[in-house]
Amino acid sequence: MIHRKVTLSAPTTTLAGMLADQPYLAYKPGQGINALTGQPCVSALMPFEVTGFPPFNVTERIERVESVQSFQNIFNVEVGGSYNMEGVNLSASAQFLHDVSYSQSSLTFVATYEIVCDGPGNPSDAPEFSPEAREVLDQSAEKFRERYGDYYVSSWTSGARFIGIYTCQAATSKSLTEFKASMSAEVPDVMSANGAAAFTRKTEENQISYSCKYLMQGTKHQPPHFDNTPEGIALALAWFKENAETGEPSHLQFVPRKATLTHYAQLSNKVLLTLQIDPTVFAEIQVLRFYVVQAQSLLKGLPPFFGRQKSPTGETFDAAIIQLTKEFEAGQASLPTNTAMREKLMKNAKEICAALEAPSDVYSFYESLVNSDHGDGGQSGKYTKEYGFTNQTQNLPKEVLVQTWDQTISHTYDFWKDAGRKQKHTFLFSDQGKLIVGWKIFANWGDGLNGSFSGGGMIGKHQGEVTVEGEVDRGFNWSLQVYYVDMKVFPWVS
């Protein structure tokens, strides 16, 4: 029997010849980039400029961020560089991701109006190696990679864009679902005057609280002030879109948007096109990068109180996320080859994100309670009615425990005392240590002759009252139940 020794080759990654739509990181034409470490390198090319951009097109879109998956989708578009060529400190154009929040009862609409050229610009001269770079390459392909990297910045797209960010909070996931359904037709036009009015109307109808902001990229000068409201954003976009008499944009000066990176192997077959790294490692780094940015965004969306709380790493969340970011940035060059570091950072990032999810749900619930009109004010009627949360099963965060206060008033008609009169009683609930989440008034006599009630407007507050009044020469029997949550569930509230 003949035994042959089989040698298994190490996994390798074959690098793509060209990478389009990469995050633009203040690059210069011809700048080198190392795909393994993500580090910028000196240029291996003779100087050239990027000119001759194709015609510009206008695109409009809106994205609804309501889950980890939808956040990751928008993250990949804005931040997702290839291999190991992107950090976790967001570029200026992607900073808005820190204003995007979502939970079981909140979501964010990101509306974009963009003027961008239909493809990258053209190099002013055909790219060619400098004499020095060619000499290094002739000596050693490894030394060439070490000095000049794997890719060079060959071009970029140019344009300007306007982004409107609408963060919406509902009292329950059910009401959020109803809001999304009602907005399906109007949302794409949300940054117009009519769309802004429709958005405001739909939030009021569905008892949704919201906050707005906008940003502009590619303006000639500092824009005038516009309010961070749906109407203000519509006015800001109208200013952004203004044209001069020549038909050219009045206020825009186009800036680089997405980079195109070309591998040096496109210029010489002497250049190494493979890395001795398993391709799955780069996928792991992309996932790790997402978790780090997600942790940053989750904490930024919470009050400062949470940053001071202990995280799963033993430090405060503020310190833990700063440390996580620093370790990723400092160790980025060695992440592909340092398995222990990748595993450690991945574990910490996942645990931090998981630990911040529950506070995000509770905070969103609280904000919706105190900032929304719940439609329970100025109510009246003759029969049993309920408002807000009246049990523990209405899609509440699991940390929120609903408790009940109840009171009953019964009055029996006495001819000698009550003849010709209406009896009246005011239920009053008041406790600064409790936050009202719902209430229910019971007409304990169902004959329609039990009198009537009036009042309410207590959801999201610490106190409330409901007055009941009987018919002339009649008794009555009413009960009020107030559903509340202990303020200890909201420890950031002073």
Claim to verify: residue 332 and residue 463 sit in the same structural domain? no
Domain for residue 370, yes or no?
Answer: no
Claim to verify: residue 285 and residue 412 sit in the same structural domain? no
Domain for residue 143, yes or no?
Answer: yes
Claim to verify: residue 437 and residue 299 sit in the same structural domain? no
User: For 271-297, what is the mean pLDDT?
Assistant: 93
Domain for residue 8, yes or no?
Answer: no
Claim to verify: residue 355 and residue 453 sit in the same structural domain? no
For the ranges 35-44, 205-214, 366-375, 387-396, which has the lowest average pLDDT?
387-396
Residue range(s) defining the domain that contains residue 116 = 13-365
Work out how many domains the chain is built from and give that number.
2
What does each C-alpha distance from 223 to 99, 217, 237 come to in angstroms? 20, 10, 11
Give the whole-number percent of the chain exceeding pLDDT 70.
95
**Residue 8 above 50 pLDDT?**
no
Reported as a single tens digit per residue, the pLDDT across 101-114 is 888 788 999 999 99
Reported as a single tens digit per residue, the pLDDT across 360-414 is 989 988 988 888 777 788 888 888 898 888 776 566 788 889 999 999 999 876 7
Q: What is the pLDDT of residue 187?
A: 58
**Residue 178 above 90 pLDDT?**
no
Reported as a single tens digit per residue, the pLDDT across 62-78 is 999 988 999 999 988 88
Reported as a single tens digit per residue, the pLDDT across 85-101 is 777 677 777 888 888 98
Spatial neighbors of 400 by CB under 8 A, at least 6 apart, are: 362, 365, 437, 485, 489
Reported as a single tens digit per residue, the pLDDT across 420-444 is 778 889 999 999 999 999 999 999 9
Closest CA to 80 of 133, 20, 31: 20
Contact between 237 and 162 (Cβ < 8 Å)? yes
Task: Report which residue type is found at 28.
Answer: K
Give the whole-number percent of the chain exceeding pLDDT 90.
66
Domain for residue 285, yes or no?
Answer: yes
Q: What is the pLDDT of residue 185?
A: 55
Domain for residue 2, yes or no?
Answer: no
Look-up of token digits 């523990």: 392
**Residue 7 above 50 pLDDT?**
no
pLDDT band, residue 224 (cuts 50/70/90): very high
What does each C-alpha distance from 414 to 326, 409, 419, 472 come to in angstroms? 78, 16, 7, 12
Residue 399: how many CA atoms within 13 Å on its side-chain side?
A: 18
Claim to verify: residue 411 and residue 300 sit in the same structural domain? no
| Structure tokens belonging to residue 442 | 């019971």
**Residue 1 above 60 pLDDT?**
no
pLDDT band, residue 474 (cuts 50/70/90): confident
| Structure tokens belonging to residue 53 | 């951009």
Claim to verify: residue 330 and residue 404 sit in the same structural domain? no
Q: What is the pLDDT of residue 6?
A: 44
C-alpha torsion sign, points 136, 140, 144, 147: negative
Claim to verify: residue 339 and residue 444 sit in the same structural domain? no
Q: Tell me which of 207 and 47 has the higher pLDDT.
A: 47
**Residue 10 above 60 pLDDT?**
yes
Claim to verify: residue 332 and residue 456 sit in the same structural domain? no
Domain for residue 6, yes or no?
Answer: no
Residue finishing a domain among 317, 333, 365: 365
Claim to verify: residue 359 and residue 477 sit in the same structural domain? no
Mean pLDDT score of the chain: 89
Claim to verify: residue 182 and residue 312 sit in the same structural domain? yes
